[in-house]
Amino acid sequence: MAQTTTTTTAPVVDAQFCAPHATAFTVAKAPGSWFRRDLAVTDAGGAAVMRVEFPLSLSFRRRVLLLDAASRRPVVTLRRVPSRIFSATERWEAFRGSSTSPADLLFATVEWPIRWPPSTRATVHVHLAAGGDLGEERNTDFVVTRRGNHTRDYAVCRGSAGGVVVASLSRTIGRFGRFAYAVSVNAGVDHAFILALTMILEESLED
């Protein structure tokens, strides 16, 4: 569960997603979504708050959309950047709304190094963009790291691994290999940002 202490961070997506209290969400297959990998994000009361969709693409830049559940308005667009030949990293970029313009870049993630099997992957480094500029990505603003070698629990930490935990992710596998996440977000932390990181982690584990 998320810590109950306030760990306010500057909004990454938007201030409207920063609750003054700890929040909890479930990410699971959307009802009626039998032939697509669309997911529903529900709050602790079971109300739908977001939807995750995976648009078909003919390019190598796989995309994931986080939509507002009521309006279906895109909140964040995630795009995987093709790896360079012989590269040991996997990179994702997150953009505001439905944009993929550099001016709307929110953050980028780099998983280093890629390991086999995928279930052993643990650390994702997050670099926030300042006005669409990532600079040289010298500083790691957040990390997503596994809580142990034999667990499906992850922590989102501010700064490097071992820093202040701002959110917790717990992955479960159900019938027919369907996954779900229990996501706990500390007070004052942008939950749209945390949910975007959750989907990047899942896509990394699925590769």
- Residue-wise pLDDT for 142-160, tens only, equals 999 887 666 689 999 998 7
Write b or e for each residue in 128-155: b if 16 or more Cβ atoms lie within 10 A of its Cβ, otherwise e: bbeeeeeeeeeebbbbbbbeeeeebebb
- Please name every residue paired with 69 in a beta bridge, in sequence order, or none if there are none: none
3-state DSSP: the chain helix, strand, coil percent, rounded to 5? 15, 40, 45
Q: How far apart are the first and last CA of the chain?
A: 27
189, 167 contact by CB (below 8 A)? yes
The number of domains in the chain is 1
Task: Determine the distance from the C-alpha atom of residue 146 to the mean position of all C-alpha atoms in its chain, rounded to a whole number.
Answer: 14
CATH number, domain with residue 152: 2.40.160.200
Q: Which residue has the tokens 């001016």?
A: 103
- Residues (pLDDT < 50) of the chain are 1-5, 119-120
**Does some domain include residue 154?**
yes
Q: Which residue has the tokens 């706990």?
A: 184
pLDDT at position 134, please? 63
**Does some domain include residue 108?**
yes
**Does some domain include residue 1?**
no
Distance CA 112, CA 197 (A): 15
What pTM does this model have?
A: 0.85
Distance CA 190, CA 180 (A): 20
106, 12 contact by CB (below 8 A)? yes
Distance CA 166, CA 164 (A): 6
pLDDT at position 55, please? 83
pLDDT at position 34, please? 57
pLDDT at position 1, please? 41
**Does some domain include residue 22?**
yes
**Does some domain include residue 10?**
no
pLDDT at position 190, please? 97
**Does some domain include residue 3?**
no
The range of the structural domain enclosing residue 152 comes to: 15-206
